[in-house]
Amino acid sequence: MKLTTKYSVLIASLFLIISFLNQDIKACTRVMYQGPNGTIITARSMDWRDEIPANLWIFPRGMERNGEVGSNSIKWMSKYGSVIASSWDIATSDGMNEKGLVANLLWLAESKYPVYDSSGTQKGLSIACWAQYVLDNFATVEEAVTELRKEEFVVVSEYLPGTKRFTTLHLSISDESGDNAIFEYIDGKLVIHHNRSYQVMTNSPIFEKQLAINTYWEGIPGTIMLPGTNRAADRFVRATYYINAIPKTDNTRVAVASVFSVIRNCSVPFGISSKDEPNISSTRWRSVSDQKNLVYYFESVISPNTFWVDMKNIDFSKDSKTKMLKVGTGSTYNGNTVDLFVDTEPFKFFGI
């Protein structure tokens, strides 16, 4: 019996979904809200099976950095100041710079990075520095895409310290105009997806296949049925539907609250994990970046409250100090926490 085009597409889509659900991944979700009058807000959840302590850092302009992969490391000086969330104080996993550029790192099991020869001519950058490099150097997505497309360095990955888990990540960035880009290394090649419409990213499979899966669900009204599990495919569909279903408003309080509600909807309840399904991991923290007003919101599950960092109150000048706010210890904060950051020596990025 010959299948119609409609049923062929349906079956192909279902195979993609099944393939997606079987991936061994660590869960995270990233979503962007595009509202009226320049209201742009990017949110992400950090989901992980184990504890992944986070602290918030203020980095000024003019910081001397290197890629932490030996003598061939790329070197740079930070052009822009930023507020970031660290992981284990060895990597930048999330953050926003003073120009409203946001960077989010999420797990991607299919990542395969180029072979790096530390004694060769190719410059290298530790994956722990990837997001920070972008925040330090670029004001817009277009600038970052143009520069990174030149591939003047390669991203170098390594096993997470003390584990047998090789680090495989993809990077999403967004700016105050509402532009988006996603960077993935597939079979050793850099793949860049650049489009304002790329508002949502989760984990496996590669982003191209995430879009294909979502195309199937677009034919099913979200008011009738949405997939409800914690798996990456379901989170991608829910985030895509809800971020476009919530009211479009330039009322900052309403917009931020609405975006928080979407990222919470895509989170995994604390304490939920499965030995047989490592793709299901508890949400450890959430961030929401208001790119119009330059306010970075943060919410940790071990300290059930939401606080923020108003970047307009920060001195990012070259002569200012690096500062840190401890959040991985369950400390409780309220409101604008800029004055609670303390002068701290910057952490050393993990390398090889």
Predicted pLDDT of residue 248: 96
Question: Comparing 157-161, 208-212, 301-305, 322-326, which segment has the lowest mean pLDDT?
Answer: 208-212
Does position 152 have pLDDT exceeding 50, yes or no?
yes
Predicted pLDDT of residue 19: 40
Instruction: Please provide the average confidence, as pLDDT, over all residues in the chain.
Output: 86
DSSP result, 35-92: -STT-EEEEEEEE-SS----EEEEE-TT-EEE-SSSTTB-EEE-SS-EEEEEETTTEE
Residue 28 annotated as catalytic? yes
Distance CA(158)–CA(111), nearest Å, equals 12
Specify burial of residue 336 (Cβ count, 10 A radius: 0-12, 13-18, 19+): middle
Q: Do 78 and 63 contact (CB within 8 A), yes or no?
A: yes
Mean pLDDT of 324-352: 93
Alpha-carbon dihedral of residues 7, 10, 15, 19, nearest 10 degrees? 180
Does position 336 have pLDDT exceeding 70, yes or no?
yes
What is the token pair recorded at 256? 């931020």
Q: Which of 28, 32, 46, 181 is catalytic?
A: 28
The more confidently predicted of residues 28 and 229 is 28
Predicted pLDDT of residue 301: 81
Residues belonging to the chain: 352
**Dihedral sign, Cα of residue 290, residue 299, residue 255, residue 341:** negative
What is the token pair recorded at 154? 């390669």
Question: Comparing 42-46, 77-81, 128-132, which segment has the lowest mean pLDDT?
Answer: 42-46
Predicted pLDDT of residue 1: 41
Q: Hey, what amino acid is at 268?
A: V
